[in-house]
Amino acid sequence: MEWIVLGAIALIFIFAISIYNRLVVARNRYKNAFAQIDVQLTRRYDLIPNLVEVAKRYMAHEKDTLEAVIQARNAAVTGLKNASANPGDPDAVGQLNQAEQGLSGALGRLFALSENYPDLKANQNMMQLSEEITATENKVAFARQAYNDAVMSYNIVRESVPNNFIAGPFGFGPAQLLEIDDPAKREAVKVDFG
């Protein structure tokens, strides 16, 4: 009878270890996915001062817009640093979400204003930087999707029974999705047949 009890305890212990290991793997996957976002966002943030510098030459009287872009970029850099330090912190990821929304809005205003300056639009540096930022934003979108998939998988593993009995006591808290809302993407497409 002792052997049966010891065997049952050993099986429970092995089962708990396997759950813990699954949680560790899932957590490391979303942290690695966030590291990919970090790389792409850092590249994007590094391109923005060059873009503003080129635009300054043509848009001297649009100083407020240019300063707003730089301020939004600096806020996003700070948000990224905080979120990179702990991608599992929902508050830090939420702050990054807000900072990215602010930066996207400021960049959108800059690009909209640049339409009024044909010389700026035709500037080779501006075109190249715009293309690089667009390509980088596409990479950010793919990296964000991979991160969100990893977070979802982690949260499912963490919340599932019996995993949740191991997750709570061992500090496996919920992970936050990185959702950068772009209101323009949510608008219905307007078709004009006129």
Domains recognised in the chain with CATH numbers: 16-177 (1.20.1440.20)
Other C-beta atoms lying within 10 Å of the C-beta of residue 13: 10
Closest CA to 155 of 93, 77, 100: 93
Per-residue pLDDT at 181:
58
| Cα(145)–Cα(162) distance, integer angstroms | 28
Could you tell me if 157 and 23 are in contact, meaning their C-beta atoms sit under 8 angstroms apart? yes
Give me the numbers of helices (H) and strands (E) for the chain, helices first please: 7, 0
Which of the residues in the chain have pLDDT under 50?
183-194
Which tens digits make up the pLDDT trace of 141-170?
A: 999 999 999 999 999 999 999 999 999 999
pLDDT of residue 64: 86
Q: What rounded mean pLDDT belongs to the chain?
A: 87
Neighbours of 147 (CB within 10 A): 25
Does pTM surpass 0.85?
A: no
Residue pair 107/121 in contact (Cβ under 8 Å)? The answer is no
DSSP helix, strand, coil percent of the chain (3-state; round to 5): 80, 0, 20
- Cis ω before 162 (30° cut-off from 0): yes
pLDDT of residue 186: 43
> What is the reported pLDDT for 192?
44
State the virtual CA torsion across 127, 128, 133, 137 in degrees, nearest 10.
100
pLDDT for 6 equals 93
